[in-house]
Chain A
Amino acid sequence: MREEQQDRDGAEHKRRADFEALVAEQEAGLLRYAARVLGDGSAAKDIVQEAFARLFQQGRASRTATASPAAWLYRVTHNLAVDHIRRESRLRSLHSEHAAERQGTAPPIQRAVAEQRELAALVWRHLRTLKPREQQVVILRVDEGKSYREIAQIMDLSEGNVGFILHHALKKLSKSLRQAGVI
């Protein structure tokens, strides 16, 4: 009986250690992704914590979670981020309108003189005027370096849909950045 208990404790200890290793391996990418999508580092931490908690609590019941925990985590983080954006959508659209007004009145920004950091902030601001799904495909592809197949798996889309959304997102972004004098 005591041996059985020791085995259980050992298994539990190993599970915790494995989980902590998974957190260390995946947290940076997930946080970066969530923060880019939400534009809010604190909300990104809440969402990534919730995704890890779900994996830890329910993961073993899900075949996809055990087969590919990284893709599962991105998918849950993505869904939680979408829910968060929906909750915040009214504020977000107001923010976008104000941002668009500011862009309309500001003089074109020349790449040569713009600081890299300002340029990055400007690019992400333009990106956030796109639809949430478009933003997420662009971030997963360009920032996270995911393949079309991986993005399709995370977002529950076909690879063709990923290409279609990405194409239109880049065209919109290209137009918006050109009008602002960024490219």
Chain B
Amino acid sequence: MKRVIQCRNISEVLAAYLMGELEPARAALVRAHLEACEKCRVEADALRATLDVLRQAAQQTADLPTHLERRRVEEILAAKSHPLMRWMEQHFVILAVIVVSAILLNILFLMRRRLAPREPPDEQPIPVQVAPRPRGSE
């Protein structure tokens, strides 16, 4: 049972071990286990072979783009260099003052409207309708 747990623990760190990411003390433990355990050695060999073919595949860079065309770089620079963007960046203090002032004015306007005394509504005369008298009642 102890061996099974140990193999599972080793399996979880095999990739890190093969890529040199383990501290020396833990790497030594894994190395010692691999010397004694054939099952884990087979697993380690398979992972090593996978890493080998991946590294070989990574060497093939012929079909990959290597640089952005000048046009694309110019597009990025042009987007940044728009006069309005440049003005906003250079005058961000003025911009901040304008925005804050606009917000404060808006708040003041709303408060004035809310605090202003309300006039009572005009009293409208209620229209009275007189029902016609029935005939012969006089």
Contacts and interface: CB of A to CB of B under 8 A. Distances in A.
A69 to B, nearest CB: 14
B67 to A, nearest CB: 5
Q: Main SS of chain A's interface residues? A: helix
Q: Main SS of chain B's interface residues? A: helix
Given A119-B53, A174-B47, A183-B50, A167 B16 contact: yes
A52 B51 CA distance: 31
A162 to B, nearest CB: 9
A74 interface: no
Given A31-B65, A170-B15, A19 B50 contact: no
A56 B79 contact: yes
Given A167-B16, A170-B51, A178 B46 contact: yes
Interface residues of B, number: 41
B60 A117 contact: yes
18 contacts: A8-B90, A12-B81, A19-B77, A20-B77, A52-B68, A52-B76, A117-B60, A117-B62, A119-B56, A120-B57, A121-B60, A147-B21, A163-B21, A166-B16, A170-B15, A173-B50, A177-B53, A183-B46
Interface of B: 12-16, 19, 21, 46-47, 49-69, 72-73, 75-77, 79-81, 85-86, 90
Interface of A: 8, 12, 16, 19-20, 23-24, 27-28, 31-32, 35-36, 41, 44-45, 48-49, 52-53, 56-57, 111, 116-117, 119-121, 123-124, 127, 138, 141-143, 147-148, 163-164, 166-167, 170-171, 173-174, 177-178, 182-183
